[in-house]
Amino acid sequence: MKIGFIGLGNMGAPMAANLVQAGHEVVGFDLAAPCPAGVTKAATAGEAATGAEVVITMLPNGAILRAVAAEVIPAMVPGAVLCDCSTVDVESARAVAEQAAKAGLGALDAPVSGGVGGATAGTLTFMVGGTAEAFATVEPLFAIMGQKAVHCGAPGAGQAAKICNNMILGVTMIATCEAFALADKLGLDRAKMFDVVSTSSGYSWTMNAYCPAPGVGPKSPADNGYKPGFAAELMLKDLRLSQQAAEAVDADTPMGQQAAALYARFVEEEGGKGMDFSAMLPRFENRSRE
């Protein structure tokens, strides 16, 4: 396929590189980041989209997505598919899909899970909203860039799945970190705590696969000074998106709301920016009960 790829940062660059390696023709554009080897550099986003069968975007937020969509949709050929892999608000995803449909294009919102490591290794999971026809067009590309793609439903469903998943993740990580900090103060050995919880009713992905305690369980960012696998500020972004969505549909999400507030304090007031989201553990270790 001829593919336009807009947004060649930490995630987009390895995704585009994997498409090139698989034999696809990729034309890329980014305001600052260089094109990876094999990707033809375009002067504008519109130029990258011209003549492409699929245009993939990986962008910071919904406002930028809307601006890029306004530029690339007029340049795309009817029947092509605009596939946004950013994590943005549901409203922006649906607005862009509607705009694309009016221009005779397919549109997918396809946020990812797996981080930079997954993007590099081609093991991302895609959560996809949009029509079945558009999904079928892009599915072979998802298979190159990732290991799983789930068609979640209509436009916006991919973003809904991503923010619901990450709301669970944020809440669960806070609970895991709180429990380790409490165990410390109760004199319970962390390894024993892990052995019990990881095989009992408290087990979770944050405990079993991404343990926030250094030297306990499988290797995780905690074992590397909390250098980010998934940065705390990105977790904050996703939690805020979940609360924006919850407010829009009048959903009661008190745990998600509290998690967003705690990560906001951690990132914006307590030095958590640039650290992994599991660095909540040393935060709780160093605090007493309020």
Annotated catalytic sites, by residue?
Answer: 162
Structural tokens at position 78 = 């009817």
Residue count of the chain: 290
DSSP state of 224: G
Structural tokens at position 165 = 């998943």
Q: What φ, ψ does residue 280 adopt, rounded to 5°?
A: -60, -25
Q: What distance in Å separates the CA atoms of residue 285 and residue 263, rounded to the nearest whole number? A: 15
Query: In DSSP terms, which residues pair with 231 in a beta bridge?
Result: 276
Q: Are 236 and 264 in contact (CB under 8 A)?
A: yes
* Sequence letter at residue 120: T
Helix (H) or strand (E) holding 258: helix 254-269
Strands (E), the chain: 2-6, 25-29, 40-41, 54-57, 81-84, 106-109, 112-113, 124-130, 146-153
DSSP state of 10: T
Which of 14-18's residues contact partners 24+ apart within 8 Å by CB, and which partners? 14/116, 14/119, 14/120, 15/56, 15/58, 15/85, 15/119, 15/124, 15/145, 16/56, 18/119, 18/122, 18/144, 18/145
Residue 13 has a CB neighbour count (10 Å cut-off) of 24
